[in-house]
């Protein structure tokens, strides 16, 4: 069993903060792209049964109906007879009943929508084109078409955002009655419009208070905090994303897509010109046993339940404590070790980058 990620890099609008692999939508490019995507899948996929499938972007929902029909035809190459979860990322402004019904007809069972914030000032700052009224209508439509497994992406930590406006965003989210949320602290990435203004980062203290508020609010509303940025109601954890954090195998098809099969990590080119010319691969790296174990820890410790000691031993025939010097991290309570697992305590998750760096040489 394998998992598959498919990248659709087209967007109708480029947001001020985004450093993801994306280009402006053009129907001419979409057609050529889908041709190459089909070739790539045929070349690389080895007919395994697929357990989770994730179409991300960019904006998959930016494709028009005919392009989406073509995309689903390509997906028929994959053996999805045992598929447990099939997610598609959607943006509010280009989703409608026709597209949602097409998703449903083609076995999609999870919708992920990028909302980011409900605050009009911050929506403008992020250069998002939807309004809160649009969000409410789209969520209603998603439920009407019959999707119950839905995720919302929210961001926090904008300049001028304060605790009160974050509380308002969280309360607007809760009113939507959606079982999963990913909440990201705004990162100012190079080569984005936001990076031009150096004064927009908010201070670490406020950012960590915001993270605390998010944890507290979501937990008190029965969302389980299962990964640094992810919260779910019982039974709604994202199975596909857990494949990444559990260091399990997945194919990655499309522009900039990453893959991990056996001991090989691959990354496709981010150049559309190269991709369309059939030069998919940007780099491939065969991992040593040590690198595999490092990834197991770096990815696994993102989960609040951390890394299972027995599973680690069964996979690598060694004990975590013999491979990594974690005594100081444990003594200083950056890591907790219990009978079964090693994990980062929730109050330290905000510092996870500083903790995880200890597992890289
Ligand atoms: C693959 S991206 C975009 C998916 C979709 N096109 C959208 O815009 O909603 C997934 C999520 O990453 C988050 N994200 C993207 N850039 C970010 C940044 N610079 N800082 C924090 N979060 C970011 C956003 O919440 C976004 O929805
Ligand atoms: S955030 Fe989403 S919609 Fe905006 S540019 Fe990035 S991928 Fe496209």
Residues 21-77 pLDDT 10s:
999 999 999 999 999 999 999 999 999 999 999 999 999 999 999 999 999 999 999
**Whether the predicted pLDDT of 198 surpasses 70:** no
| Mean pLDDT to the nearest integer, 101-130 | 96
Q: Decide: 94 in ligand 1 pocket, CB within 6 A.
A: no
Q: Could you tell me if the CB of 186 is within 6 A of ligand 1?
A: yes
Q: Closest residue (by CA) to atom 6 of ligand 2?
A: 18
258/238 Cα distance (integer angstroms): 18
Q: Which residues contact 312 (CB under 8 A, 6 or more apart)?
A: 293, 296, 319, 320
| pTM, rounded to two decimals | 0.97
pLDDT digits (tens, 9 = 90+) for 226-245: 999 999 999 999 999 999 99
Residue 153 CB–ligand 1 contact under 6 Å: yes
pLDDT band at 159 (very low <50, low <70, confident <90, very high): confident
- Ligand 2 centroid to Cα of residue 291, in Å, is 32
What pLDDT score was predicted for residue 194?
87
Give mean pLDDT, residues 177-204.
87
Segment holding 283, helix H or strand E: strand 281-286
Residue 10 and residue 26: Cα distance in Å, rounded? 8
* Mean pLDDT, residues 307-328: 97
The rounded mean pLDDT for the chain is 96
The pLDDT of 130-156, averaged and rounded, is 97
Would you place residue 199 in the very low, low, confident or very high pLDDT band (cuts 50, 70, 90)?
low
As a dihedral over the C-alpha atoms of residue 247, residue 17, residue 20, residue 11, rounded to 10 degrees, the angle is 130
Residue 63 DSSP code:
S
Tell me the per-residue pLDDT of 242-297, one tens digit each, with 9 for 90 and over: 999 999 999 999 999 999 999 999 999 999 999 999 999 999 999 999 999 999 99
Ligand number nearest to the C-alpha of 89:
1
Three-class secondary structure of residue 62 per DSSP:
helix
Check if 83 has its Cβ closer than 6 Å to any atom of ligand 2.
no
Q: Please check the confidence at residue 200 and state whether its pLDDT lies above 90.
A: no
**What radius of gyration do the chain's Cα atoms show?**
21
Question: Minimum-distance ligand to the CA of 21?
Answer: 2
Distance, CA 18 to ligand 1 centroid (Å)? Answer: 7
pLDDT higher at 72 or 193: 72
In this predicted structure, what is the pLDDT of residue 195?
86
Return the percentage of the chain with pLDDT > 90, whole number: 94
Tell me the pLDDT band of 197, cut-offs 50, 70 and 90: confident
pLDDT value at 312 more than 80:
yes
Backbone angles phi, psi at 343, to 5 degrees: -150, 160
């Amino acid at each position: 069993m394998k998992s598959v990620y498919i990248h659709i890099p087209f967007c109708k609008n480029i947001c001020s903060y985004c450093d993801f692999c994306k280009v402006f939508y053009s129907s001419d490019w979409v057609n050529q792209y889908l041709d190459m995507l089909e070739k790539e899948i045929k070349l690389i996929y080895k007919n395994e049964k697929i357990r989770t499938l994730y179409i991300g972007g960019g904006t998959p929902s930016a494709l028009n109906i005919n392009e989406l029909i073509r995309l689903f035809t390509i997906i028929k190459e994959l053996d999805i007879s045992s598929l447990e979860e099939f997610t598609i990322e959607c943006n509010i402004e280009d989703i409608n009943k026709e597209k949602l019904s097409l998703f449903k007809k083609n076995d999609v069972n999870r919708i992920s929508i990028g909302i980011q914030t409900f605050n009009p000032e911050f929506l403008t700052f992020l250069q998002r084109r939807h309004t809160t009224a649009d969000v409410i209508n789209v969520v209603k439509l998603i439920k009407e078409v019959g999707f119950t497994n839905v995720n919302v992406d929210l961001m926090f930590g904008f300049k001028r955002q304060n605790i009160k406006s974050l509380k308002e965003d969280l309360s607007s989210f809760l009113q939507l009655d959606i079982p999963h949320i990913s909440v990201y602290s705004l990162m100012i990435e190079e080569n984005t419009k936001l990076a031009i203004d150096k004064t927009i980062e908010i201070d670490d203290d406020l950012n960590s208070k915001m993270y605390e508020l998010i944890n507290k609010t979501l937990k008190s509303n029965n969302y389980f905090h299962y990964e640094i940025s992810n919260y779910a109601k019982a039974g709604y954890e994202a199975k596909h994303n857990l494949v990444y954090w559990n260091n399990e195998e997945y194919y990655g098809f499309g522009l900039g897509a990453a893959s991990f099969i056996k001991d090989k990590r691959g990354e496709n080119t981010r150049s559309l010109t190269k991709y369309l010319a059939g030069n998919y691969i940007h780099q491939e790296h065969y991992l040593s046993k040590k690198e595999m174990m490092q990834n197991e820890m770096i990815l696994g410790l993102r989960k609040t339940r951390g890394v299972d000691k027995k599973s680690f031993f069964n996979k690598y025939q060694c004990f975590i404590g013999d491979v990594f010097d974690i005594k100081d991290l444990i003594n200083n309570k950056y890591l907790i070790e219990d009978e079964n697992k090693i994990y980062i305590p929730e109050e330290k998750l905000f510092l996870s980058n500083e903790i995880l760096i200890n597992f890289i040489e």
